[in-house]
């Protein structure tokens, strides 16, 4: 089981030393990224899109850390968009794409092969182009040659595509709003920036681990084989982003899914070797819930946290607790081998629907049923719940929480969240 050094998470000097490319600082700039991107989009002429004919379809090309841009656009446009929106990572460009369609290509460096090739082929066919990336890049050149709209990236978005999400996403949302594909006006994006500022303050490195929800979540994730599950479409996009950040930033592989479709697949894992009923010895599993508006202390462990008066809080007991149900005190880690890591279910819950609808009640009941099944199986349950707001504001809640948690997890494990030697080796071997 990975060992996370919790003391390191409260040491500002060590946090800075391990974080060689200021990932935490870049994540904290997310609100500023939104504001800067809005300014750059206006200067680039994003309003020109409002004067053009509505496209027949929209195709979004993005890969790697930028791929969530396509997922978010599909998510927000799907309920009421008058035209279809779909993602494409690379060539071939569908044969139906032509002058009546809009192609959106996103690449922080402006040199990612997939989006660049898609943009070049779209330009050759006469399609409308909206691109986001470095100003002095091949992508910018392709777009300008085709008389499209290219939005450059500012100083706040030059670290990596993982930490520059909002630099890349905000112009695309503005463009889609101008075309009438979704509802993301300037005031909504300002609300996103304010929510991201709030989360940056809440998750800041100087905030102690016992009151910082992102640090708490990092410690809990380190002790599990994580499964990230969204309670609906919005949570599903956030879950995919979370799995990507856990893998690329913290080097922790994670499965992800979205309710209701993934319910049976995720619940089937509760029968496997990483839960109490799946063959491992029964134990006591903690249950934690993180609400982003405040800190719910259920699930906090006594050796981690203390009451202000200095008294330890009582450790909650899960369904597998009780007389004769605790950890085997006779287990010998040398003879029996170390206990396998426990399965952890991280549920990303959307804000409650008000007033409730039959569909929302049914969805809530399914989420609760999955969580109950997980607890009874002995899995460790963690929850992150977004606060109220527009869909993109609620998504910002989840993305911020998991981005910071993955970064703290990497640092706590002694890893640099920005630099992976194996990724560097892979690049060298494929040049």
Kindly report, residue by residue over 47-105, the tens digit of the pLDDT: 999 988 899 999 999 998 899 999 999 999 988 888 999 999 889 999 999 999 999 99
**Predicted pLDDT at 275:** 86
Is residue 425 within 8 Å of 29, Cβ to Cβ?
no
Cis check: omega of the bond before 260, within 30 degrees of 0: yes
Give the closest residue to 383 by CA, choosing from 221, 145, 233, 246: 221
d(CA 420, CA 415): 9
Give the closest residue to 370 by CA, choosing from 289, 221, 258: 258
Tokens 């990612």 locate to 112
Beta-carbon contacts of 24 under 8 Å, excluding residues fewer than 6 positions away, are 15, 205, 404, 407
Is residue 230 within 8 Å of 257, Cβ to Cβ?
yes
Whether the full predicted model's pTM is greater than 0.85, yes or no, is yes
CA 277 to each of CA 62, 150, 228, 284, 332: distance values in angstroms, whole numbers, following the listed order: 41, 55, 20, 12, 20
Q: Low-confidence residues of the chain, pLDDT below 50? A: 280-285, 297-326
Cis check: omega of the bond before 355, within 30 degrees of 0: yes
d(CA 108, CA 430): 20
**Domains of the chain and CATH, by start:** 18-196 (3.40.50.10490), 207-420 (3.40.50.10490)
**Predicted pLDDT at 317:** 38
d(CA 216, CA 210): 7
Tokens 């800190």 locate to 295
Is residue 58 within 8 Å of 102, Cβ to Cβ?
yes
Say how many residues make up the chain: 431
SS3 string, the chain, reads: CCCCCCHHHHCHHHHHHHCCCCHHHHHHCHHHHHHHHHHHHHHHCHHHHHHCCCCCCEEEECCHHHCHHHHHHHHHHCCCCCCCEEECCCCCCCCCCCCCCEEEEECCCCCCHHHHHHHHHHHHCCCEEEEECCCCCHHHHHHHHCCCEEECCCHHHCCCCCCCHHHHHHHHHHHHHHCCCCCCCHHHHHHHHHHHHHHHHHCCCCCCCCCCHHHHHHHHHHCEEEEEEECCHHHHHHHHHHHHHHHHCCCCCCEEEECCCCHHHHHHHHHCCCCHHHCCCCCCCCEEEEECCCCCCCCCCCCCCECCCCCECCCCCCCCCCCCCCCCCCCCCCCCCCCCCEEEEEEEECCCCCCCCHHHHHHHHHHHHHHHHHHHHCCEEEEEECCCCCHHHHHHHHHHHHHHHHHHHHHHCCCCCCCCHHHHHHHHHCC
Work out the angle at residue 82's Cα, subtended by the Cα atoms of residues 78 and 84, and round it to the nearest 5 degrees.
55
Neighbours of 426 (CB within 10 A): 11
**Predicted pLDDT at 301:** 45
Neighbours of 330 (CB within 10 A): 6
């Amino acid at each position: 089981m990975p060992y996370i050094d919790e003391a390191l998470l409260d040491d500002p000097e060590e946090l800075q030393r391990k974080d060689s490319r200021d990932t935490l600082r870049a994540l904290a700039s997310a609100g500023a990224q939104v504001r800067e991107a809005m300014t750059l989009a206006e200067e680039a002429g994003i309003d020109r899109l409002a004067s053009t004919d509505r496209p027949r379809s929209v195709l979004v090309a993005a890969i790697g850390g930028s791929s969530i841009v396509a997922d978010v656009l599909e998510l927000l446009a799907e309920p009421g968009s008058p035209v279809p929106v779909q993602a494409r990572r690379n060539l071939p460009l569908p044969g139906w794409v032509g002058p009546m369609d809009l192609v959106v290509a996103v690449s922080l460096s402006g040199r990612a092969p997939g989006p660049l090739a898609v943009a070049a082929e779209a330009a050759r066919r006469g399609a409308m182009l909206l691109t986001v990336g470095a100003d002095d890049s091949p992508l910018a050149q392709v777009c300008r040659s085709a008389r499209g709209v290219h939005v450059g990236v500012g100083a706040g978005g030059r670290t990596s595509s993982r930490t520059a999400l909002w630099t890349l996403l905000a112009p695309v949302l503005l463009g889609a709003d101008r075309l009438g594909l979704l509802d993301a006006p300037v005031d909504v994006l300002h609300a996103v920036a304010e929510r991201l500022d709030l989360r940056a303050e809440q998750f800041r490195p100087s905030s102690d681990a016992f009151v910082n929800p992102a640090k708490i979540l990092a410690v809990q994730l380190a002790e599990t084989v994580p499964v990230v599950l969204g309670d609906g479409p919005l949570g599903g996009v956030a879950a995919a982003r979370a799995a990507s950040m856990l893998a690329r930033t913290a080097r922790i592989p994670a499965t992800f899914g979205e309710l209701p479709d993934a319910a049976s697949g995720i619940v089937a894992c509760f029968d496997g070797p990483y839960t109490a009923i799946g063959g491992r010895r029964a134990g006591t599993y903690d249950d934690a819930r993180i609400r982003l508006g405040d800190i719910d202390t259920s699930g906090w462990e006594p050796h981690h946290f203390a009451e202000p008066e200095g008294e330890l809080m009582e450790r909650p007991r899960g369904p597998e607790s009780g007389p004769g149900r605790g950890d085997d005190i006779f287990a010998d880690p040398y003879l029996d081998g170390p206990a396998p890591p426990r399965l952890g279910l991280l549920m990303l819950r959307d804000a409650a629907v008000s007033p409730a609808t039959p569909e929302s009640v049914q969805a809530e009941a399914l989420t609760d049923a999955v969580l109950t099944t997980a607890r009874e199986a002995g899995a460790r349950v963690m929850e992150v719940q977004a606060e109220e707001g527009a869909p993109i504001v609620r998504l910002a809640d989840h993305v911020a929480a998991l981005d910071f948690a993955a970064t703290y997890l990497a640092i706590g494990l002694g890893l640099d969240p920005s630099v992976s030697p194996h990724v560097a080796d892979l690049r060298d071997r494929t040049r």
